[in-house]
Amino acid sequence: MWLYVKNIALFCMLLICSYGSFASQSYIIEQVSDTSNQLTIDSIIDRSASFTQTKGEIRFVKGETLWLKVSSVSELANESLVALGSIEGTLKLYQVANGKVAAYKFVSPELAHLAPNLHILPSITLSTDNQSYDVYIKVQAKYSGMLSLSVMSLEQYREALNSRLFIAGASSGIHYFIAFFVLLMAISQSRKGLAVLAAYFVCVSIQTGAYNGANNLIFPSELASYFAVYQSQIYLLSLIFAVLFLNYFVVVKRCDPKYTRLVSASIWALAGLAVLIAPLNAQHSLVFHLLGSLICFLLYILVLQNQFYEHKHEVVAIVIAWLPIFIFKMYVFMNQFGMYVSIDPSVLNQIFITLHVVLLAAYLYWHDKNKKKQLLFYATHDKDTGAPNRYMLQQSLDGLGKSQKDHTLLLFRPLVLQTIRLNMGWSYANAHLKKLLMKVGEQLNTYGNTVIAGHDNVHTAIYRLDDSLFAIVLLGKFELSQVEQFVCVLSASFEEGVDFGGDLLVDQLEIGVASNPIHATNADALIQCAMQAMAAKPAGSNKWQLFDFSNSIVSQRRIKIASALKVAIEREQLSLYLQPQLHLGTGRVYGAEALLRWHHPELGVVPPSEFIPVAESSGIIYELTEWVIETGLKQQAELVQLLPDHTLSLNISGKDVGRKELTVQLIELVNQYTLVPTQIVLEVTESATVENENTLFDTLGDYRSIGLRVAIDDFGTGYSSLAYLSQLGFDKLKIDKRFVMDVESSRTNQTICKATCDMAHSLGSVVVAEGIESEQSYRQLQQYQCDIGQGYFISRPLPFEDYKKWLHRMIEVEDVIHYLTS
């Protein structure tokens, strides 16, 4: 970027040189001020004696007419002219001979289209070959400033005019070329920020062209005149585009929302000034220019100082690009307070505006170049921490694999990271994580033997694979001691904890390890192995886990089960087996518990203990429960034809507790099959009741309002309190089979079963015992007054048709014990 600045400076020097003075000592300049602004040329001619000679700069004041008189003191060679610099205002040039006006010229931006050359370099003849004249000049300016005046020959004037025409055309050409190029970029890339910048360039170019006369060379005369009349509005419009430029290039991308509101307020303020300035005369427009410039300047200061520490280079680049326009505006405003600089303002205007436009274009090039670099960087690195990402890890592992170098992948996940995000916010978590990773990286560097892709220097690289998963690559053959060493460093760094309001949140890590070529020979497989190892780490354990092929087989089987289970529901591969339940006191049939069974063509018999957890974790459990309920109630409709008081128990997953859709389905099916709701029991595990404590009261209320009965299954395994159970008021309490299977010999289980029966009866609940496998267990539970029993002693779970046959036989049996033991 500095090369561009150097070239621009050389161009500006040429621009200054082109405005060299053609002054001569063969004339004198006099001046007088007209504070009343009422004097005419005739009264001024009569007052020639009141003029005072000036040898220095010609200064004029806003709102006050300045009269100049140029007279020759000696013979001027050939034809000579008085040439003036451009001002923002009007010039009236009078050629006077013998006290009479011989010629008159009027220079005004509004009328510049009638005589473009006169506006670019105002002039009037001072002498010809035959006669000399006095030249009177009336200066009425919008703002205070300085006026350059020179006397030159006709040839010198033509050279100066051509020079000004060239410079005006060249600078305008630069402005519009850059604006056109930026506009093409905006259209091709669909970027609003570039469109705003192009519009700003056009506004600045139009305003400058109205000042130096370039508009009359470029636009039709009517349009050029229109631009001259509305210079002030165009200036304020350019400030609006300057604010929008800041918005699109800085505010939108990074800043706090409050700066977005400031941008909106600034735009409305500038638009309001543009409306207010319309009916005012030129003398008062400077106040609005000053207010508009001040609004824009303060907004830039607020936004850029906020971004300075994080984006220092970009802020400096923006400041450099806007510095020329700031210096020029400071020059203009200083003139209003009597502080002048001996340089033609039209020269400064062209220099600084051109410099500003070119520097903004250079900033745009630098900005887009850096943006491309940033995009390339973030394609291979994490945006929040700057750590190399999964792509870089893949490249690193692929490179090591191709070179056949042994290496070990260590994946780790900080468990407290999510807690930090929830309690302290995402930004705080990222800042903390960035510092922590730098610290861990420094500590790991001391051990060496690690690699980072794309660098010759061997040092530790901590890769970020997703929000909470990180990786380290260890070089060399797999050694347990080496892995232990790195695990200790990681654990020590993370276990220092995070301060949260004076409390220390101690972090723990999940760590999985896999090695190439022991566990895998390519990058994808190695990452998969390490992730499986991490997933297999025992819950609550602080130890790292090495990949085990047996875990891989289990994981693959879970995936197959998940994919096959949905198909099994659709293709009716599932079936319900019914395990009979008897009244232990009378031996009469009470009903049955429906048990889900799955026989897959390839996987074989898949037990519920294996596919139910997979269904819960994959979300298929809802469809599975709906199938069980619909099938079970359909079978119950047939069974009550054989045994009118037959009761069917259905198991409900903990995931289904509180699901309103389940209640609706039960109502529909009970009505559809005209079933008695009290003969349907929903069994919920004790652990599920503890997990769903907040919703369980409402859920049980919904079930009871239908008329259904609810049982707590596997009682004794969920660690629920008696007070809790009494509040819920379950209709049935089912003793877990581990307490029933050896109740005839185990004193502990005898105590548990008897106490459970007594407690349940005192709470008004029916007791069901599962797992009765012997006559002794059956009779022991009878002594404890257990109400219902089931188990292999009574019957194994039976397919539906076999159960109907069993039920038909059992209805006629009088001595159940004798029948079961015979």
What local confidence, expressed as pLDDT, does residue 498 receive? Answer: 56
d(CA 141, CA 147): 10
What local confidence, expressed as pLDDT, does residue 449 receive? Answer: 44
Q: Are 815 and 801 in contact (CB under 8 A)?
A: no
Q: Which of 37-51, 79-93, 432-446, 773-787 has the highest mean pLDDT?
A: 773-787
What local confidence, expressed as pLDDT, does residue 601 receive? Answer: 84
What local confidence, expressed as pLDDT, does residue 134 receive? Answer: 87
What local confidence, expressed as pLDDT, does residue 8 receive? Answer: 47
Q: Which residues have CB under 8 Å from 705's CB, separation 6+?
A: none
Per-residue pLDDT reduced to its tens digit, 678-718: 999 998 876 555 555 666 677 778 888 889 998 888 776 55
Phi then psi for residue 457, to 5 deg, are: -75, 125
Q: Which token pair is 129? A: 């070959």
State the average pLDDT for the chain: 82
Per-residue pLDDT reduced to its tens digit, 190-228: 999 999 999 999 999 998 888 777 888 888 888 888 888
Q: Which token pair is 286? A: 């400077």
Q: How far is CA 291 from CA 223, 240, 243, 270, 288, in A?
A: 28, 13, 14, 9, 5
Residue 660's SS3 state is helix
Q: Give the residue-averaged pLDDT of 359-376.
A: 90
What local confidence, expressed as pLDDT, does residue 284 receive? Answer: 60
d(CA 209, CA 113): 12
The mean-pLDDT minimum among 11-25, 370-384, 701-715 falls in: 11-25
- Higher-confidence residue of 632 and 489: namely 632
Q: Give the residue-averaged pLDDT of 243-254.
A: 83
Which band of pLDDT confidence, cut at 50, 70 and 90, is reported for residue 14? very low
Q: Which token pair is 53? A: 């000679």
Per-residue pLDDT reduced to its tens digit, 61-100: 877 899 998 887 666 556 777 777 777 788 899 998 888 8
- Closest alpha carbon to 358 in 86, 88, 170, 215: 170
SS (H, E, C) 342-407: CCCHHHHHHHHHHHHHHHHHHHHHHHHHHHHHHHHHHHHECCCCCCEEHHHHHHHHHHHHHCCCCE
Q: Give the residue-averaged pLDDT of 370-386.
A: 86
What local confidence, expressed as pLDDT, does residue 793 receive? Answer: 93
Q: Which token pair is 339? A: 């502080």
Q: Give the residue-averaged pLDDT of 347-370.
A: 89
CA 779 vs. chain centroid, Å, equals 69
Residue 535's SS3 state is helix
What local confidence, expressed as pLDDT, does residue 497 receive? Answer: 57
Per-residue pLDDT reduced to its tens digit, 466-485: 888 889 888 888 777 778 87
Which band of pLDDT confidence, cut at 50, 70 and 90, is reported for residue 109? confident
Instruction: Work out the angle at residue 593's Cα, subtended by the Cα atoms of residues 591 and 594, and round it to the nearest 5 degrees.
Output: 125
Per-residue pLDDT reduced to its tens digit, 510-529: 888 888 888 888 888 888 88
- The 10 Å CB-count burial string (b at 16+, else e) for 441-475 is beebeeeebbbbbeeeeeebbbbbbeebbbbbbbe
pLDDT above 70 (res 18) = no
Ramachandran sector of residue 516 (left: φ over 0; alpha: ψ -120 to 50; beta: rest): beta
Q: Are 454 and 392 in contact (CB under 8 A)?
A: yes
Q: Which fold has domain 402-547?
A: Alpha-Beta Plaits (3.30.70)
Instruction: Work out the angle at residue 288's Cα, subtended by the Cα atoms of residues 282 and 291, and round it to the nearest 5 degrees.
Output: 155
Q: Which residues have CB under 8 Å from 261's CB, separation 6+?
A: none
What local confidence, expressed as pLDDT, does residue 573 receive? Answer: 86
DSSP assignment of 735-748 equals E-GGGTTTTTT-HH
The mean-pLDDT minimum among 187-191, 210-214, 254-258, 537-541 falls in: 537-541
The second-level CATH assignment, the architecture, of 559-821 is: Alpha-Beta Barrel (3.20)
Which band of pLDDT confidence, cut at 50, 70 and 90, is reported for residue 794? very high
Domain boundary assignment for the chain? 25-160, 165-377, 402-547, 559-821
d(CA 726, CA 760): 9
What local confidence, expressed as pLDDT, does residue 216 receive? Answer: 81
pLDDT above 50 (res 452) = no
What local confidence, expressed as pLDDT, does residue 459 receive? Answer: 63
Per-residue pLDDT reduced to its tens digit, 426-436: 777 777 777 77
What local confidence, expressed as pLDDT, does residue 507 receive? Answer: 61
d(CA 384, CA 386): 6
pLDDT above 60 (res 138) = yes
SS (H, E, C) 216-281: HHHCCHHHHHHHHHCHHHHHHHHHHHHHHHHHHHHHHHHCCHHHHHHHHHHHHHHHHHHHHHCCCC
pLDDT above 70 (res 668) = yes
Per-residue pLDDT reduced to its tens digit, 326-350: 888 887 777 666 666 666 667 778 8
192-212 and 345-380 helices cross at what angle (nearest 10)?
170
Q: Give the residue-averaged pLDDT of 49-66.
A: 80
Alpha helices for 512-588 (secondary structure H): 523-535, 549-570
Share of the chain above pLDDT 70, in %: 84
What local confidence, expressed as pLDDT, does residue 581 receive? Answer: 96
Q: Which token pair is 522? A: 């390519």
d(CA 478, CA 735): 50
The mean-pLDDT minimum among 85-89, 159-163, 457-461, 525-529 falls in: 457-461
What local confidence, expressed as pLDDT, does residue 198 receive? Answer: 94
pLDDT above 60 (res 501) = no
CATH hierarchy code of domain 25-160: 2.60.40.2380
Residue corresponding to tokens 């045994």: 643
- Higher-confidence residue of 211 and 670: namely 670
Which band of pLDDT confidence, cut at 50, 70 and 90, is reported for residue 804? very high
Whole-model pTM: value is 0.57
**DSSP H or E run through 161:** helix 154-189
Q: Which token pair is 518? A: 């022991």
